[in-house]
């Protein structure tokens, strides 16, 4: 039969978290663990999301203010597929240094902080280009 | 407490409001909803064979002709067909019943056809349709509520949504 099956939970997919502290926040899938791991025997993925969205920048903001408003706070989280809502959007940001660590990118606190900083830098530079505006606007609910 | 409990009410019929985020370029990626079933089109009335002459003029005035009948409401025969096909799938194929497993099959793209009861809550219906849109799996809206769908599956419980993984001997995937 015609191959109808399109897997959509892939790296780069923009998703919305549904549960937990970051419920309602938008995130990008960085790495997918389809079959799960020994610690998490269910399908889950590593997402990088926006804990704090960048604020709205207006034309009459000074350069200093624009820089301050464009800052994001990022989070990295291993999240079950059932706790995310996939969207039709994608965000193709290169998260190589974040994802290369793999599951142990979140193992120790230092590694997590370092990965978070790397992800934050990537997301901020993407925001400044003005692309993927849907991703950087807060979901109102 | 999940996001779904706090989010939009999922008013029936008003699907357009849900998927239009503000403040961004709509033209970039248009999302075209499947057309909502048309409840306003009048079903073609049954025509007794004796009164063919007089009723044909009536139908002509109404703008209805047997050739141009829009399939907005399935005849009894078609619903029976679907029930028969479902029965065959239950016997010979693979399927899962229930919302959680349906989402699971949608995520893993294992499902081939999703069937929703007509009294499925609108938010849940939209969610399943959205997942199906992403994974390019077709959705069929069953003409009956969850009680009827459960009966059609041969079960003694209500079934709001089901997913067919492997149709077995049935041709339900190709014909529906």
pLDDT in tens, B7-54: 445 455 545 445 544 555 555 555 666 665 665 655 555 554 444 444
pTM greater than 0.80: no
Residue found by looking up tokens 């999703």 in the block: B114
CATH number of the domain encompassing residue A92? 2.30.30.770
| In chain B, domain spans | 79-166
Band of pLDDT at residue B60, cut at 50, 70 and 90: very low
- Whether the pLDDT of residue A69 is over 70: the answer is yes
| Domain-located, residue A89 | yes
| Domain-located, residue A111 | yes
Number of domains forming the structure of chain A? 1
* pLDDT for B17: 46
CB contact under 8 A, B134 and A16: no
| Domain-located, residue A84 | yes
Interface residues from chain B to A (CB-CB < 8 Å): 1-4, 6-8, 21-25, 29, 31, 100, 103-104, 107-110, 112, 127, 131, 133-138, 173-174
> Smallest Cα–Cα separation from A66: which of A54, A84, A83?
A54
Which tokens belong to A105?
């990118």
Q: Are B148 and B91 in contact (CB under 8 A)?
A: no
- Whether the pLDDT of residue A130 is over 70: the answer is yes
CA distance B169 to chain A (A): 14
CA distance A88 to chain B (A): 7
| Domain-located, residue A1 | no
Phi/psi zone of residue A126: left (φ > 0), alpha (ψ -120 to 50 degrees), beta?
alpha
Q: Write the CB contacts of B163 (distance below 8 Å, at least 6 apart in sequence).
A: B95, B96, B101, B102, B105, B106, B111, B113, B114, B115
Band of pLDDT at residue A37, cut at 50, 70 and 90: confident
pLDDT digits (tens, 9 = 90+) for A14-26: 999 999 999 999 9
| Domain-located, residue A92 | yes
CB distance from A42 to chain B under 8 Å?
A: no
| Domain-located, residue A73 | yes
pLDDT digits (tens, 9 = 90+) for B89-133: 999 999 999 999 999 999 999 999 999 999 999 999 999 999 999
Structural domain for A40, as ranges: 13-134
CB contact under 8 A, B2 and A19: yes
Of B1, B24, B131, the CB nearest to A137: B24
**CATH fold for domain B79-166:** 60s Ribosomal Protein L30; Chain: A; (3.30.1330)
């Amino acid at each position: 039969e015609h191959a109808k099956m399109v897997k959509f939970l892939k790296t780069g997919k923009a998703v919305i978290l549904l549960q937990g502290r970051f419920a309602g926040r938008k995130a990008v899938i960085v790495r997918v663990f389809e079959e799960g791991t020994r610690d998490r025997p269910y399908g889950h993925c590593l997402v990088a999301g926006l804990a704090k969205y960048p604020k709205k920048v207006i034309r009459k903001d000074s350069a200093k203010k624009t820089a301050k408003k464009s800052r994001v706070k990022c989070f990295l989280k291993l999240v079950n597929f059932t706790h995310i809502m996939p969207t039709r959007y994608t965000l193709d940001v290169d998260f190589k240094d974040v994802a290369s660590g793999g599951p142990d990118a979140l193992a120790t606190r230092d590694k997590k902080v370092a990965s978070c900083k790397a992800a934050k830098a990537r997301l901020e530079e993407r925001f400044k280009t003005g692309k993927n505006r849907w991703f950087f606007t807060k979901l109102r609910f | 407490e999940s996001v779904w409990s706090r989010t939009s009410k999922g008013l029936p019929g008003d699907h357009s409001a849900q998927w239009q985020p503000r403040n961004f370029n709509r033209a970039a990626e248009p999302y075209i909803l499947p057309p909502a079933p048309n409840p306003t089109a009048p079903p073609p009335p049954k025509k007794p064979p004796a009164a063919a002459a007089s009723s044909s003029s009536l139908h002509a005035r109404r703008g209805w002709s047997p050739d141009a009948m829009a399939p907005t409401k399935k005849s009894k025969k078609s619903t029976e067909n679907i029930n028969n096909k479902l029965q065959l799938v239950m016997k010979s194929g693979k399927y899962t019943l229930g919302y959680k497993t349906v989402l699971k099959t949608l995520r893993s793209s294992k499902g081939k056809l999703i069937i929703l009861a007509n009294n499925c809550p609108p938010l849940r219906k939209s969610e399943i349709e959205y997942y199906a849109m992403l994974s390019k799996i077709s959705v069929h809206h069953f003409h009956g509520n969850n009680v009827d769908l459960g009966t059609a599956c041969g079960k003694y419980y209500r079934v709001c949504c089901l997913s067919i993984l492997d149709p077995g001997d049935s041709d339900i995937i190709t014909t529906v």
